Structure 1
Amino acid sequence: MHSPAALPISLFEKREELRRILQSKHFATSPKKSRFLEFISEQTFLGGGDKLNEYLIGVEVYDRGPEFNSQKDPIVRVQAHEIRRLLKKYYEEEGKDSLVRVNVPTGAYVPVFGRSAAETEVEFPTEPVAASGFDRRSRLHLAITLILAAACLVLAFLLVARGWRSGKAQSVPTATTLPEGLEWFWEPFLPPAEPPLIVIPNHPLLRAAHDGDSPQTLARGHEIPKAALPEFRDTIHFRELKRFRFVPSVTDFTSVGETIGVVSLCQMFSNVGQKYRLQQSRLVNFEEIKGNNAILLGGNQSWSGRVFLNVQGFHFQGGVITNTKPQPGEKSVYKPEFDPVTNQLRRDYALVLMLPNERSDKRVLLIYGIYTQGSQAAIEYLTNPERMADLRKALMDLSPDHRTVPTYFQALLTTTVENAVPGNFSLVAVRAISN
């Protein structure tokens, strides 16, 4: 196991700690010192830490001219000493509970970020060369992560498009059967049943405007100062857009978790020779849902949970899951959990509902994560034979004979989340719904 101090620190964590420092009482009233610390940090984040020196800081931060001579004008050294003193005071007071610590080693101008163990004080390296090497590794890791993430998203859309086309134009592929651990759940959606309608959510949001937008679109924009959105500093938009103007969009975006999850669903149906129809939620009406086997993804961003409220179990509304009749060991309300320091999502929940449609031979399946990570984890759970064996057993325990799975039911799932990616998922509770 690694000690806390040995764990790598993400760029987001570094920026968040820098933001907290600059907003503290020790720096908020000292604009030049804040600018100094922010400048050397940003240069380090961008890979320019090895170029930091007194001359560059004097010119860029303190507006010294090209004739600036650091030997005659010690402004940079004096201010660096003050910044080290203020950082020390910050971590003795406001930042005493911070898990990430920032230090500017004596004789250097490359800030060093380290983790603070709960019981011990972090020792920062004094050699800037090591910090630069670590930062280069961090940037390389970040670049690889972003490239892999982009490749996964492209692959997801290609697989979905391929499955859709095969469902429309190609003959049914050689079919296999689902594992027994999955077939009991998915049987209503499999041949000879009609192809299910899979609905992915459209997210209404504000996106960054760009030069390709029409004048009318730009006129509806909302400008937000870049400094007010430090979370965006790792994005290409922050570096390339001079201004942050955001415009409404209700047609163009869905979520990462649902996108990855729908690939798994489409692949599963293709493997058993079942066609499917994939549609965005804004183009689907309630009549279409009632007339088909339908699978709805996306929680608050898809069809409202109020349409499918059931007084016997769990309600999903307003970003929380309420438990109308808590059983021993259960909560009355299930809400996402966040890290108290970084505010990153640490636990999400999802609700799975297998419900009757207008005709008894058809089903409506809702897979609703509170956040997109919950939706992705729920789909992974529902396509995992071993986990589904656990769900089947829990549902059979609800029946009088302990052998029969209720026709209609609810399942509450949870997942840990690390770096916005779902981790360990498990079953929380189940409810049978009367026919």
Structure 2
Amino acid sequence: MVVTGHVTGADLRLVEERLVNSHTLHGSESLCKLLRYLADNAIKHPGVALKEYQIATEVFGRAADFDPHLDSLVRVQAGRLRSKLFEYYASEGVEDPIIVELPKGSYALAFHPTSISTKTILRVAKEAEASSQVSPKISRPVILLSLLLAVAMVVIIALTLSVMRTSGTVSGGRPVPAALRVFWQKFAAAPQEPLVIFSNGAFVGRPETGLRYFSPDKDSRQAILDHYTGVGEVLAVYDLDHALGSLQRQIRVKRGSLFTLDDAQNNNLIFVGSPAENLTLLDIPSTHEFVFQRVSSGPRKGDLSLVNLRPQPDEPKVFLPSAPGTTLTEDFAVIGLVPGLNPARSVLILAGTTTIGTQAAAEYVSREDSLEQLLLRLSVSENGEMKPFEAVLRVKVVRGVPVGSELVALRKPPQ
């Protein structure tokens, strides 16, 4: 939830009731239900991100096997609600003291008091619409142009407010969450934008006989057929861009196959993907407590695992995802912050045993609620500094989507 200015929980409940009982949302039972759910979450659990899966199953009654990649219900309904909110504030809600928005790419409502200038512009849009109905002497093109200009002004205001809130620069607005600021401080404050290196795994073989990962020990580089980047890595880059964007910091993105050691000397690095696909991780400082290895024997021989080199009591020696050939319901990922080749630089590693685990790791370090948990475990205060650490996440997966992550192992420097 984003709240700007002085807005109380009681205020938000009144806003919720006004919207649900409005003419704009009259008859839209599904949208009212979605609005109530989002508002309730925003008030009771501020900062806790909602996932499509949660909304689909808890609001719209979808089954437990709901797959957002195959069913766009939540995105469609969120788009409808976003349009209805815009319509409401351009008409019957023009005098409302608080505006509710559903920013694109988010399922968290944003609340902010309506400024005088915004009210004036919204009223202009409403009056322009009314003039089209009571002024028959005015030509249709002129009416249309007036409407378009009025609506465009409202859109500009809405977009400007949205962009300013995203960047944390709204005057008197909610500051960037402390957890995000503390965790990303080294990457946001450095002279150079951080360089995100995403896995771009090489494959050898032929489609008709089978493809496998390129092995530098036994394959010639001339045998490489193609390169591949997983969906999880793509979504991870999006989450990282959003997180650092909130700190007014851009990222630079480079595929692993083009990474050079010069890049490592001069930049803070964020590696997305395991060494099985991001082979450049083999050439730079990496994690020392939790490492990726292929299982060497037994029924899981050849599978990628996350090995716990110094297991603590009640910790397993090996973290293994669901077996190949079965439905992926569990994955593991490592989050590691280590010094770079250049001691003045830092390297962040976000890697799962599958692409889904990688996605979950990036989500974990991009969201306020999970970062608060991590910083608490690391004993880092709001004014503290991040030190090197390594952590393992257990990731719950439903139909190829990470729906929950739990911190199951952690190594941090001695106090």
Q: TM-score, normalised by structure 2?
A: 0.50
Larger radius of gyration: 1
